């Protein structure tokens, strides 16, 4: 059987990073890990072809080649997914769908023309899928049998990817999160008891992408990497040894809870293993929204100090906030900005509340008559699928207010500068020129020549976007040379943070246009 695996296109959203991708010569932030994991579960004698619509277009030859097409989709891929199903149906292809959106919006996907739909995780029911595809079943819904043991999960088919298309490669080490936030669908998808791969599995995946030639960023796409402390520590120890033997070819980024900042051993091992950044869900600066949402770790941990601890360990912090939670104060936008500026946190992710199907929040708002399920939620649509305690336009305007303040160039330049000055261990204020050059080169030791050329392009683009503006020239160049003089080991990190912030500034303009259009209609 010839199976065409298709990753639908994303609408432009906070992590599309289109500006960054253009500057660094890549097409997408990360590959479709779900699809290449599914590919590894299919029979070895089947022919497989992957098309990621975020990196290339589908062709008539792709359609003609395939006996069956397989899609995986998230909420922000809904429109592309449904259009693709319709197109495949018109071409009389067998259609198989799975992933978060088909799992929670099954009827809509079936009505669009899907033949075989998988709800939940696949590993335990892959035999049923293969049997249904072989016998060309129609209107078949395969329910995942529960929470499969990840020790049986195969190495994803990284060979199906064109590695140069992606800014990061991706691996998954665990599924599930012990923190049951009512708005988060991680628990709904994967449960509250995290399940981990073995250290040997993780090393085998790293070896696979190492042998494929990848060097540089790897996104560990766990919902909470430190969910089970003992498992995470065991894997980190093995990864640290593997990395050291190969001169540290990868730079890892992941997601973790705020309690990471209270665990010196975990932070030390993460840095030893090559982790350079972590996304932490702060969600709100107010206690009442956190209490209602069940975000207990953020209530019991001193959040600012925990973030400083992570920063001082040597890892970057990206702080995530949700706007529109019940119990949120009227001045929430100002409080988020003050928090980010005082820490400081260079990159802040701001999203209006998304009410995901089957979460505790979904059921609570449904019971209260506050759910509007026919509306898609998310910044990319700039509209809410629930009735907030404040007006919808007020919630959306808070989002644009935060973006406008935090990503005003002078502000993000200041935050990035103060942040990088305090990352990791203190450095000598006056290293020699040779030492500075070696420190800068150390970050790029595994980068290819073409990546280093694109690195120069990054700096040139920032100079053009910020450094030549009369109102910012003194600040930009003064900070740049200060980092070169006093923290050359963090120079590349500083430039990357500026690039990310400039990308967020440009994305904030997209958000502002969408929100203004919605607010005008609401009025």
> Tell me: the pLDDT tens digits for 85-141?
999 999 999 999 999 999 999 999 999 999 999 999 999 999 999 999 999 988 899
- List, for residues 52-81, the tens digit of each pLDDT value: 999 999 999 999 999 999 999 988 888 899
- List, for residues 302-349, the tens digit of each pLDDT value: 999 999 999 999 999 999 999 999 999 999 999 999 999 999 999 999
Bridge partners, residue 250, by sequence? 216
Helix axes 409-422, 473-486, angle to 10 degrees: 10
Average pLDDT for 337-363: 93
Q: What gap in Å lies between CA 55 and CA 30, rounded to an integer?
A: 10
Is residue 381 pLDDT above 80, yes or no?
A: no
Region of residue 435 (phi > 0: left; psi between -120 and 50: alpha; otherwise: beta): alpha
Share of the chain above pLDDT 70, in %: 93
The chain-wide mean pLDDT, for the chain, equals 91
Question: What pLDDT was estimated at residue 336?
Answer: 97
Flag the least confident range among 190-199, 286-295, 503-512: 503-512
- Backbone CA torsion sign across 460, 466, 472, 478: negative
- List, for residues 203-224, the tens digit of each pLDDT value: 999 999 999 999 999 999 999 9
Question: What pLDDT was estimated at residue 405?
Answer: 96
Q: What gap in Å lies between CA 178 and CA 297, rounded to an integer?
A: 11
C-beta atoms surrounding 202 within 10 Å: 22
List phi, psi (to 5°) of 241: -65, -45
Flag the least confident range among 100-104, 162-166, 322-326, 514-518: 514-518
Residue 153 per-residue DSSP state: P
Q: How far is residue 326 CA from its own chain's centroid? A: 25
What is the DSSP code string of 299-314? Answer: HHS-HHHHHHHHHHHT
Question: What pLDDT was estimated at residue 436?
Answer: 46
The closest alpha carbon to 73, from 87, 83, 64, belongs to 83
- List, for residues 11-57, the tens digit of each pLDDT value: 766 667 788 888 888 999 999 999 999 999 999 999 999 999 999 99
Listed in order, the ranges of the chain carrying CATH 3.40.50.280 are 2-143
Q: Are 55 and 162 in contact (CB under 8 A)?
A: yes
> Which CATH class name applies to 150-362?
alpha beta
pLDDT class of 455 with cuts at 50, 70, 90 = confident
Listed in order, the ranges of the chain carrying CATH 3.20.20.70 are 150-362
Residue of 457 and 15 predicted with greater confidence: 457
What's the token pair of residue 162? 């064109």
Q: What gap in Å lies between CA 130 and CA 40, rounded to an integer?
A: 13
Hunting for tokens 């939940």 — which residue is that? 120
| CATH, range 2-143 | 3.40.50.280
Q: What gap in Å lies between CA 196 and CA 367, rounded to an integer?
A: 35
What's the token pair of residue 121? 């995780």
Tell me the pTM.
Answer: 0.90
C-beta atoms surrounding 401 within 10 Å: 18
Q: Are 436 and 379 in contact (CB under 8 A)?
A: no
């Amino acid at each position: 059987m010839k199976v065409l695996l298709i990753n639908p296109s994303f609408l432009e959203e906070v992590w599309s990073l289109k500006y960054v991708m253009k500057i660094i010569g890549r097409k997408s932030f990360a590959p479709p890990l779900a699809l290449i994991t599914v590919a590894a579960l299919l029979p070895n004698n089947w022919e497989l072809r992957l098309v990621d619509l975020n990196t290339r277009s589908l062709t008539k030859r792709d359609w003609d080649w395939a006996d069956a097409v397989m899609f995986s989709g998230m909420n922000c891929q809904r429109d592309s997914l449904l259009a693709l199903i319709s197109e495949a149906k018109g071409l009389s292809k067998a259609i198989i769908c799975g992933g978060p959106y088909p799992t929670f919006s099954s009827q809509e996907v079936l009505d669009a023309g899907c033949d075989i739909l998988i709800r939940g995780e696949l590993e335990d029911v892959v035999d049923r899928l293969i049997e249904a595809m072989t016998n060309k079943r129609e209107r078949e819904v395969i329910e995942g049998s529960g929470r499969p043991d990840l020790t049986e999960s195969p190495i994803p088919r990284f060979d199906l990817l064109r590695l140069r298309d992606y800014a990061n490669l991706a691996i998954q080490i665990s599924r599930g999160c012990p923190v049951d936030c009512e708005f988060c669908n991680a628990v709904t998808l994967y449960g509250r008891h995290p399940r981990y791969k073995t250290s040997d599995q993780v090393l085998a995946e790293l070896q696979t992408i190492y042998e494929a030639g990848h060097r540089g960023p790897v996104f560990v796409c766990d919902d909470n990497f430190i969910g089970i402390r003992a498992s995470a520590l065991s894997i980190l120890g093995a990864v640290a040894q593997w990395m050291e033997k190969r001169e540290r070819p990868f730079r890892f980024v992941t997601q973790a809870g705020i309690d990471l900042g209270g665990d010196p051993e975990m932070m030390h091992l993460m840095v030893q293993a090559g982790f350079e950044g972590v996304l932490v869900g702060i969600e709100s600066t107010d206690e009442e929204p956190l209490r209602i949402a069940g975000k207990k770790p953020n209530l019991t941990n001193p959040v600012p100090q925990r973030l400083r601890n992570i920063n001082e360990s040597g890892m970057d912090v990206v702080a995530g906030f949700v706007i529109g939670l019940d119990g949120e104060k009227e001045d929430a936008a100002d409080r988020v900005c003050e928090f980010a500026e005082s820490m400081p946190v260079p990159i802040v992710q701001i999203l209006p509340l998304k009410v995901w199907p089957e979460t505790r929040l979904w059921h609570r708002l449904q019971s209260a008559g506050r759910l509007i399920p026919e509306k898609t939620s998310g910044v990319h649509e700039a509209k809410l699928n629930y009735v907030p305690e404040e007006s919808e336009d007020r919630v959306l305007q808070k989002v644009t207010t935060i973006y406008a303040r935090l990503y005003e160039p002078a502000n993000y330049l200041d935050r990035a500068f103060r942040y990088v000055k305090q990352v990791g261990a203190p450095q000598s204020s006056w290293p020699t020129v040779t030492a500075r050059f070696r420190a800068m080169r150390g970050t790029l030791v595994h980068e290819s020549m073409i990546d280093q050329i694109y690195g120069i392009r990054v700096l040139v683009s920032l100079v053009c976007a910020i450094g030549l503006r009369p109102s910012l020239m003194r600040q930009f160049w003064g900070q740049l040379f200060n980092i070169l003089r006093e923290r050359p080991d963090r120079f590349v990190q500083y430039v990357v943070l500026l690039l990310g912030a400039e990308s967020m500034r440009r994305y904030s303009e997209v958000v502002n246009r969408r929100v203004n259009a919605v607010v005008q209609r609401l009025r």
